[in-house]
Amino acid sequence: MLENKNILIGISAGISAYKICELVRMYRKAGANVRVVLTPNALNLVTKLTLETLSNNEVYVNNFEIDEYKPEHIALTESDILVIAPATANTIGKIANGICDNLLLSTACAFSKPTLIVPAMNTNMWNNPIVQENIRKLSKLGYHILEPASGYLACGTSGVGRMREVEEIFDKTVEIMTPKLKGKKILITAGGTREKIDPVRYITNASSGKMGLAIADTAHAMGADVTLVSTFKTDKPYLNYVAETALEMEKIVKEQTPFQDCVIMAAAVSDYRVENYSSQKIKRGKCIGPAGETTSLMSSGGGKYIMSADNNEATGLDKNAESASNAGLQAECQQGGKCIGLAGETTSWMGGECINLEGNSITLKLVENPDILKEICAERKGETPIIVGFCAESENLIENAKIKIQHKGCDLLIANDISRKDIGFDSDSNEVYIINRELNIKHIEKDTKQNIAKRILEEIFE
């Protein structure tokens, strides 16, 4: 699987450096040619002689060691992949900021082919916001990150920061070197839509978009041509459309679907939206409706209203009367395109409806949003693209998922239980059931969303 591939391993000064000896052996056994470069401090943890014996190549630590006409850091960049393991916080930070104060860092800076970074450090260091920002920065730039596992650490504590096992590093290397989805076009939706009430308020849901984003990142890492349609902007090395509402998402998805090999609808799309969006902020204790309509305030007397229909007062009102049946109401004009009445009154517009605020209550009329998943399934011609839906349920998960896949007409449905606090919305973990048209079920146990994403993609393109 790695026959004749040239792999460059970079070792920084993490206690797990000794494990890389086994990784070198695994690469060699798979047919790869392996070269190793270390930071000077890494020599305190593993010897050059051991690595040279296992790799059958010279091992490099300092500049000016390579007996070639090219500068040493340039000569090393001719490998097919750079695997930095373990990658300390220091090495990660310097790579993220272009610092080249040793041979490994100079090589990493000049390396233009895939780079896999395998962090290993103390839990508090891993959770440090600066380290996390560096990881995000490198990920956005296209570096492959194999995030650390949770377990017992050399410092005597337990937590996230343990370097992934060498078998996992090997498998990730194979995945990067042999992209399974090369040439595939995949559209993924992510995030919870926002259905506007007025310029500052909206109806939404608890979806963070992490699952959809994990699928998009993983698909890209596996070689796919990815299009992400998300409710938020993201800085990624693939195409990203932002769709805040269900109607916006529907338009983009329908435009892009005919050009895709697969569409994965991971977004949480609101089922309903407000029928009468107010272009002005709704005020407390006010009644607001569309401009340009004839307005009548139905009341036995008293009260006041403002009308902005062409600067004209409502017909039949007597400005001078203090009270009367359907008259005597003080009337005046306001520019701005809205007709506003006081709470406690019933206001009607010819050709429009009002959102009535009586006391401390408000009534919003909701209308159904398009069912994007069902519509693209119905409009699909033939068996392509493959269409995958998501099903978030708080009860009767499997039963509801089976009903949904039959109703929607998609090829696969990914079901997860949102009643659990340890998975789902805004969590970094998930546990899902994959259901196909024949109602066969595959259970993927709790794991990181990145690993769940990989399993989902493998199931789709098996």
CA distance 389 to 377: 10
Query: CA 327, CA 334: separation in Å to the nearest integer?
Result: 19
- Residue 317: CB atoms within 10 Å: 19
Q: How far apart are CA 262 and CA 462, in angstroms?
A: 13
Q: Are 27 and 56 in contact (CB under 8 A)?
A: no
Q: Which of these is catalytic: 155, 262, 354, 377?
A: 155
- CA-to-CA distance for 158 and 119, rounded, in angstroms? 16
Give helix 89-96 / helix 103-110 axis angle, nearest 10°: 40
The beta-strand segments (E) located in 28-176 are: 33-38, 59-60, 81-87, 115-119, 144-145, 149-152, 158-162
Q: How far apart are CA 437 and CA 432, in angstroms?
A: 16
C-alpha Rg value of the chain to the nearest Å: 30
Q: If we measure between CA atoms, which residue out of 221, 46, 78, 45 comes closest to residue 147?
A: 221
Closest-CA residue to 127 (of 153, 101, 98): 153
Q: Rounded to whole angstroms, how far apart are CA atoms 72 and 97?
A: 21
Distance (Å, rounded) from C-alpha 59 to C-alpha 65? 9
| Distance, CA of 431 to CA of 147 (rounded, Å) | 19
Whether 155 sits among the annotated catalytic residues: the reply is yes
User: Distance between CA 10 and CA 167 in Å, rounded?
Assistant: 17
Please identify every residue annotated as catalytic.
Answer: 155
